[in-house]
Structure 1
């Protein structure tokens, strides 16, 4: 097991600025996948205990940067879930270029082990729990967002769970080596309660996330309607999600992704057919401008949508 590590050294990196070879500068200042960078004059005290199903890392620090990087977990460290509990103090998390302030009572839940940094703004006490198997819904259901911040203290069961976690930290500090089986059982029970709190928040947040993503996808599609080879994979790459997620978001709207694309193209095509300033263009030219070069397919789809051919539609709307 890892020994206690008290660190008192100069910080070579400012928050938000990557340092070169910072891991090699402080080779003793980390546990696998977790690196501590104290500010000048600050101290960090880390204690790690490992049990059969869970690893606990207690961390007391003055202002410092704590960096979590799954690339450094190494062989034999098969963690599927990392949850961080801020038990006292104030901090700021950084993930994917975004920041969020957190305070005592906040839980930072991750889907698998992800790359994130926590800047302790004051003296802080944290508890990091890493488990071999996923326990909360965000991991089990492969939830779209890889990180969630929950104010546990606001939940009815939150204050009691946090109180137990503070007791657990004190026990971890006194323990030597392995986590006692009785304490491990208590930790897993508390973890189950905290996961229930997180899971109760996810459906609400998932709905808001999917609504926002749907709007962004539709805006992207509308900008690219004239691109004939517009594909789900292109949209997925643009929004940093999988093609499966793209299709899943649209499945809740009553029409598929390609049905939406087809409808919007037909609407744009019909609008141009009604435009007197475009009367000099051939119907095939307008269709090509809207990413629909197949005349036979276009005529069939247009007739289904408007109960007449494109030529008849144009003639109808050109009458004085």
Structure 2
């Protein structure tokens, strides 16, 4: 009983107050939660359980106006909310609203990955959220194909994600959910603000996946997304940067990261430039220096010296006598 009570309290601290039903044979469960700004990235692995959030629990709860986006990675589930009763299969995600009654049954050992979003972050009204709750979405759909792997990767890497980056990445999930709500209402188009946001998410993912291609250009990006080059440039006006500058900035960021690693000593600067889509080493060196104030070689050397200094400092600290002894 004590173990069950502890598990119920842990879940309540993460997702909000719930009425838990846990079989006697349940022995184990793990929760891992990481803050991404105001959003929580949560992984839960457990034996079977059922959770209910009733009207009385909602009435007694304070500051629990959250929407949960949950990916079922392993096991089976059934979710009931807003007059919908849906079976959920591995690889599908679903949304539920903690401000309204819900029943979530997980009848076998399971693994879930979730984002817990305050409604203020989501930016959707109650009626908008109501349209998308308890409606499983898989990777076989257009939006699911974007959301499922994106959410899974985001939750898995949340602990290594700096807070500003985490909030920016989470915004992409919010944008996709906004488009999903529009689709359920039949209003999503690439000309709508939410349609443009999800298209930008796709375009940024496409650019990141093709940074190594020196032939990537606004024309190839527009063609891959069935839009005009003119419309592509219009989309990037909201980012206050041109398409070509965005591509160059992403390539420079990857090159800087590569040159900071310990393994950078074994590769040439030209090799790093080529790996990330720069066809001219001299051009790469010039734009790298303009962006970061150092040549690529100097950047690599500074990072190597810093690693040596940290190693020496750690070694000295290990050999210092214990003054308190």
TM-score after normalising by structure 1: 0.45
Work out which of the two has the higher radius of gyration on C-alpha atoms and give 1 or 2.
1
TM-score after normalising by structure 2: 0.44
Higher fraction of helix: 2
